[in-house]
Every structure is written in structure tokens, then in C-alpha cells.
Chains A and B, each alone.
Chain A
Amino acid sequence: EEQLVESGGGLVQPGGSLRLSCAASGFTFSDYWMYWVRQAPGKGLVWVSCIFQDGTTTTYADSVKGRFTISRDNAKNTVYLQMNSLRAEDTAVYYCSRGGFTHSLDVWGQGTTVTVSS
């Protein structure tokens, strides 16, 4: 079964840092782009970042550029999201997703919750 499992969420103070992880299983991880998508409480889905198969290309939403860093370890089948200088508006459920060959996000994790509050 193709599966993504996120971890690393929690409560952090404004200005703090957090690293999210997403462990993949059931498919050849290195064949796929990987994405992070977030959803603030009661709001819609927002793309955050994505990373190419070998990690050489990364893209970020303007709202997180310069603060968040996406990376991956294909040996560990894991994608990461390092989040620095966190703000209250970064509070959200963060989903990890696979960029499928059909130009879609075809596998999703269950999400991990990040709360930025003092």
C-alpha cells in the first residue's frame, strides 16, 4: 500500500523553528516529486513547497520563501520541511503529498498539526 506518514508537528512560539518529516512507503520514492500543502483552521488548501526527485530543484510559495526549506533523503524515503521564523499565520495542518505521473497529487498523508502561539 502506498503510504505517507507525517510527523514533527506541535506547539511552537512565534519566531521558533520546527522540522516536519514525511515517511513514504509502498512505492519508489525517488521517482516522484514531493509536495507540502497546508490548511489553516477552517480554511482551504494552500501549496507550500515542492521538491524534484533528486532534490536538485525546489519551489516555495511566496508566503514561506526564505523561512522554510524543503529537502529529501531518498535513502530514507523521507521528505522534510524545515520551518524557521514561524508566525501565527503558519498555524495549520501540514500535509505531505506525492506528485503523481498524472500531474496530480495522488497520495496524501494524514497531516500533522503545527500551532504557532505564545
Chain B
Amino acid sequence: EIVLTQSPGTLSLSPGERATLSCRASQSFSTTHLTWYQQKPGQAPRLLIYGASSRATGVPDRFSGTGSGTDFTLTVSRLEPEDSAVYYCHRHEASPAFGPGTRLEIK
């Protein structure tokens, strides 16, 4: 079973700064199946990135995904207050798994 870990647990940054969120897998897997989701309080998750680096429809280009193998990164540039949320990475394969999430706070 592939386990996903995310770091940091919480990230506190100011508007205009850049956030770098990490997702690490216990075993390598295809980038095709790596996705990122954003969840704001009281809301359902929202797909941000699929295939490790492709933005979902309507997602601003401030959000970008990179990585392969076991190490993946979500970068959020030019932070805005509305980016405050929990971000989850996810392996979309048989027995799908989510990472524990990174809470991004915009001061």
C-alpha cells in the first residue's frame, strides 16, 4: 500500500508570497494518477491539479504542480487571502489514498 505524506502540516504566509507544499509517496507511482485538492472550511474539496501538473478547469495559473516518482509539489504563487484552505494530495489508483493535508494560512 502506497502511503502519502505531506509537509509542512501548516504553512503561514503573507499575501503576495509563494507557498510550496510537498507530497511524498512511500513508493513511486505514475504522475498520471497524482492529484491535488483544495478544501475550504465547510466546503467540499475542489480539484486543483490532475496528472501532477495539469490545472483543472477554472483554476488560476497561480497554482502549479510538479514532480514525479515519489516527490510532488504544489506551488501557489502571489498568495491571496482566498487561498486559505487545506490542500490534499491524492493518488488516484486502485485503493485510492489521500495525504493528511497541509493547512495554508494567509496572514
Binding site for B on A (CB under 8 A): 35, 37, 44-47, 50, 59, 61, 95, 99-100, 102-106, 108-111
B-side interface residues toward A, CB under 8 Å?
Answer: 32-33, 35, 37, 39, 44-47, 50-51, 54, 56, 86, 88, 90, 92-101
CA distance A41 to B88 in the complex (A): 16
Bound-state CA distance A61–B95 (Å) is 7
Question: Is A105 a contact partner of B101 (Cβ separation < 8 A)?
Answer: no
The docked-state distance in angstroms from the alpha carbon of A104 to that of B31 is 12
Least distance between B51 CB and chain A CB atoms (Å): 6
Q: Are B100 and A44 in contact, CB atoms less than 8 angstroms apart?
A: yes
Q: Are B97 and A108 in contact (CB under 8 A)?
A: no
- Known A-B contacts A59-B94, A59-B95, A104-B56; A44 and B44 likewise in contact (beta carbons under 8 Å): no
Main secondary structure of the interface of A (DSSP, over half): strand
Give the complex CA separation of A46 and B101 in angstroms.
11
- Extra A-B contacts (8), CB below 8 Å, given A46-B98, A59-B94, A106-B56: A37-B45, A37-B98, A45-B98, A47-B97, A61-B95, A100-B47, A102-B56, A103-B50
Interface pair A105/B45, CB less than 8 Å apart: yes
CA distance A45 to B93 in the complex (A): 16
Docked Cα-Cα span, A89 to B107, in Å, equals: 34
A105 to B92, Cβ gap below 8 A?
yes
Residues of A within 8 A of B90 (CB): 45, 104-105
Q: How far is the CA of A47 from the CA of B35 in the complex (A)?
A: 14
Residues of B within 8 A of A100 (CB): 47, 50
The residues of B that contact A50 with a CB separation of less than 8 Å are 96
Q: How many Å lie between the Cα of A106 and that of B88 in the bound state?
A: 14
CB–CB B96/A47 < 8 A:
yes
